[in-house]
Amino acid sequence: MHRPRSLGSDLRWWWRHARPYAGWFALGIGVSIVTVSANMALLAVAGWFIASMAAAGLAGVDMNYFTPAAMIRGLAITRTGGRYLERLITHDATLRLLTGLRVWFYRQIEPLSTVDLHNGDLLARVRSDIDTLDHVYLRLVAPVIVGLVCLAGAGAVMWLYSPVVALVNLILLGIAGVALPGLVCHLGRRPGAAAVDDAARLKAASVDWVEGLGELTVFGAAAARRTAIGALSRDWIARQRTLSRLNGLSSAGVLLLTNLAIAGTAAVVVPLIRSGALQAVDFAPLVMLVMGCFEAVALMPGAWQSLGQVRAATARLRAFEHREPAVAEPADPAPAPASDAIRFEHVGARYEATGAWALQGVSLDITPGEHIAIVGPSGAGKSTFVNLLLRLADIQQGDIVWDDRSLSAYRAADLRARIAVVPQRVYLFHTSVRENLLVGGPQATAQRMIAAARIAGIHDDIAALPEGYDTIVGEEGLRLSGGQIRRIGIARALLRDAPMVILDEPFEGLDAATAARLWARLERHLADKTLIVISHDMARVRAFARVLVFENGRLVADGDPATLAERCDTYRRLTRAHFARDLPPVSAPASAPLSIRRLA
């Protein structure tokens, strides 16, 4: 656990990330000062002009109204144009900062193992928490600086009229701009921080709900999860209600202080006018200037109210500064391996120091160009085997030797550059099929892309889409079936053209005939590459010359399918379970959850 960070520490962290955009922030603050100053001057000049015109009319004297009228028009144009430019510049600067923060956050989590990172929690941090930080500039830094600068100028003008008027208003402005925001900040700190935490938990729970809707429905857990999400929603709404009440009370407080300032100004100015120290026409500009001053501090209570949310979001983001990658990079990395001769020497791995072994005592050799199938029950250690090769998990026992050097001697990026992976859950971005394929090979030509799609057996499906390769697939491939998503993932891996290919359940979601045709094409195309396939499809596994059988984190057998069928109980059990399944095709009902209908 880290000690709570101070406000100064959080602001310095924010400034470190905001420094590249300092020019934009300074420009936004400068334009805001001009805008607020123009508004205050407009009110004062307009009040003076109206009062002077009335006095001139009563006295029956002439008055030059062209100059003040031109000033009023100029100030009005400045205020209107300045307000537009202020919004444009300050929001553009803020969006630049938020973009930079998202890049920073991605760089923080990219080296970390994804095994213990929760999708919903990561989404909450990269969206909600970072979005909350727009308050720092728009609602905290800019209003405070603008308010102080403009109030200093307005106070100087008031002082020229009457020091007493200036002091009365500065006291009330201090209450509105310092004391009231301090009280609101104190009262809003806990509900603000709780609102950020509730929002994060609600987003994580919602992501879990959407991703696991099919499984939750099948196992009858959907109602309980829906109830939990409802409770989180009510908690979040209660926090927002508290913050809204504080916001309303702070606005009412500023309005009350504004009226007190106007009354106080009148109480001081009227006797001065009667005594002849001030002229009657000075009353209106002073009162209007006071109103303009309080408009400049009106945003401060709300700004400080959001401080609790800002600090809570900052703490959630900064927590990743101190997370160490699951796999440490070597201080003096060896050159990237030139071949893919790999040897496991009594390898053991686990994800927690005191947890159960995910893999233990594994020894084997992988020859370049070899095609290997990996089978085993769920939780047998198959995914850990792949994670070790990808350097997403570290070795606690034994060693893995790659091209005659220990795996730990290489940079993770150099090893991953030699591997193309199709994970069990293929992710598609909310863009076109073409863009999703180009993730595997950004420089790939259209001809290469089509060739890879043909090998993966997805070209005809893509061509049948409304816009072919330019069809938008939707969020996570919403417009495609599970089998189509998997084959696009395979085509993407083929475009990577790496010497080693790892396919995790490549035949899932495919009927037997489609799976057989896909395997025949892959076997021919990848004949000279090292291929590792993790699969529960024992019909496909029997086509491999070498099969690794894992159970309870151990390699229990290594051999050809015929030998394993005679000597390995685990292999026989998996084979019987696969071929004993009698699942006639049934059309999924229209009301079935999306994730179930996808596989139909």
308 and 375, same domain (yes or no)? no
Query: Tokens 């209007």, residue?
Result: 288
163 and 31, same domain (yes or no)? yes
Q: What is the pLDDT of residues 429-474, one digit of tens each?
A: 888 889 989 988 888 888 999 999 999 888 988 999 888 888 888 8
Percent of the chain with pLDDT over 90: 13
Phi, psi angle pair for 419, to nearest 5°: -125, 135
pLDDT category at 550 given cuts 50, 70, 90 is very high
Residue 333 lies in a domain: no
Q: What is the pLDDT of residues 165-185, one digit of tens each?
A: 889 888 888 888 778 877 877
pLDDT category at 343 given cuts 50, 70, 90 is very high
pLDDT above 70: residue 211: no
Percent of the chain with pLDDT over 70: 92
302 and 357, same domain (yes or no)? no
pLDDT category at 315 given cuts 50, 70, 90 is confident
pLDDT above 60: residue 519: yes
Average confidence (pLDDT) over 196-203: 78
Average confidence (pLDDT) over 566-576: 88
pLDDT above 80: residue 114: no
pLDDT above 80: residue 236: yes
Residue 168 lies in a domain: yes
Question: Domain of 598: which CATH number?
Answer: 3.40.50.300
280 and 424, same domain (yes or no)? no
Residue 53 lies in a domain: yes
Q: Would you state the pLDDT for residue 302?
A: 65
Residue 66 lies in a domain: yes
95 and 203, same domain (yes or no)? yes
Please tell me which residue, 475 or 384, carries the higher pLDDT value: 384
Residue 255 lies in a domain: yes
Please tell me which residue, 1 or 153, carries the higher pLDDT value: 153
Task: Please state, as a whole number, how many other Cβ atoms lie within 10 Å of the Cβ of residue 424.
Answer: 15
Q: What is the pLDDT of residues 253-286, one digit of tens each?
A: 888 888 898 898 899 889 988 888 888 888 888 8
Report whether 137 contacts 94 (CB < 8 A): yes
Query: Tokens 């100059």, residue?
Result: 67
pLDDT above 50: residue 582: no
Q: What is the pLDDT of residues 39-64, one digit of tens each?
A: 888 988 888 888 888 888 888 777 77
383 and 480, same domain (yes or no)? no
The helix/strand/coil state of 362 is: strand
Q: Would you state the pLDDT for residue 117?
A: 59
Q: What is the pTM of this model?
A: 0.63
pLDDT above 50: residue 592: no
Average confidence (pLDDT) over 498-514: 84
pLDDT above 60: residue 395: yes
Residue 596 lies in a domain: yes
Last residue of a domain, one of 276, 294, 321: 321
145 and 253, same domain (yes or no)? yes
Last residue of a domain, one of 294, 321, 348: 321
Reference 184, options 142, 136, 242; nearest CA is 242
Q: What is the pLDDT of residues 4-33, one digit of tens each?
A: 567 778 888 888 888 888 899 999 999 999
Residue 326 lies in a domain: no
Q: Which of 15-19, 121-125, 290-294 has the lowest mean pLDDT?
A: 121-125
Last residue of a domain, one of 287, 321, 355: 321
pLDDT above 60: residue 600: no
The helix/strand/coil state of 219 is: coil
Q: Averaging pLDDT over each range in 86-95, 301-310, 423-432, 471-480, which range is the top one?
A: 86-95
**Based on the number of CB atoms within 10 Å of its own CB, is 68 exposed (0-12), middle (13-18) or buried (19 or more)?**
middle
Checking 450-455 for CB contacts under 8 A at 24+ apart, the result is 452/491, 452/492, 452/494, 452/495, 453/488, 453/491, 454/521, 455/490, 455/491, 455/494, 455/521, 455/522, 455/525
Q: How many CA atoms lie within 13 A of 112 on its CB side?
A: 17
The parent domain of residue 36 ranges over 7-321
262 and 312, same domain (yes or no)? yes
Q: Would you state the pLDDT for residue 305?
A: 67
Query: Tokens 């994804």, residue?
Result: 114
Question: Domain of 79: which CATH number?
Answer: 1.20.1560.10
Q: Give the residues across from 502 on adjacent strands.
A: 421, 532
Residue 518 lies in a domain: no
Residue 331 corresponds to which tokens in the numbers above?
């201080």
Q: Would you state the pLDDT for residue 345?
A: 92
pLDDT above 70: residue 523: yes
Average confidence (pLDDT) over 301-314: 74
Average confidence (pLDDT) over 129-134: 81
Please tell me which residue, 47 or 204, carries the higher pLDDT value: 47
395 and 469, same domain (yes or no)? no
Q: Averaging pLDDT over each range in 110-119, 326-335, 580-589, which range is the top one?
A: 326-335
Rounded Cα distance, 589 and 525, in Å: 38
446 and 405, same domain (yes or no)? no
Q: Would you state the pLDDT for residue 496?
A: 87
pLDDT category at 329 given cuts 50, 70, 90 is confident
DSSP secondary structure code for residue 79 in this structure: H
DSSP string, 242-279: HHHHHHHHHHHHHHHHHHHHHHHHHHHHHHHHHHTSS-
Q: Give the residues across from 320 on adjacent strands.
A: none
537 and 396, same domain (yes or no)? yes
Q: Would you state the pLDDT for residue 4?
A: 54
Spatial neighbors of 466 by CB under 8 A, at least 6 apart, are none
Counted domains in the chain: 3
137 and 282, same domain (yes or no)? yes
Q: Which of 68-82, 317-331, 583-597 has the lowest mean pLDDT?
A: 583-597
The helix/strand/coil state of 420 is: strand
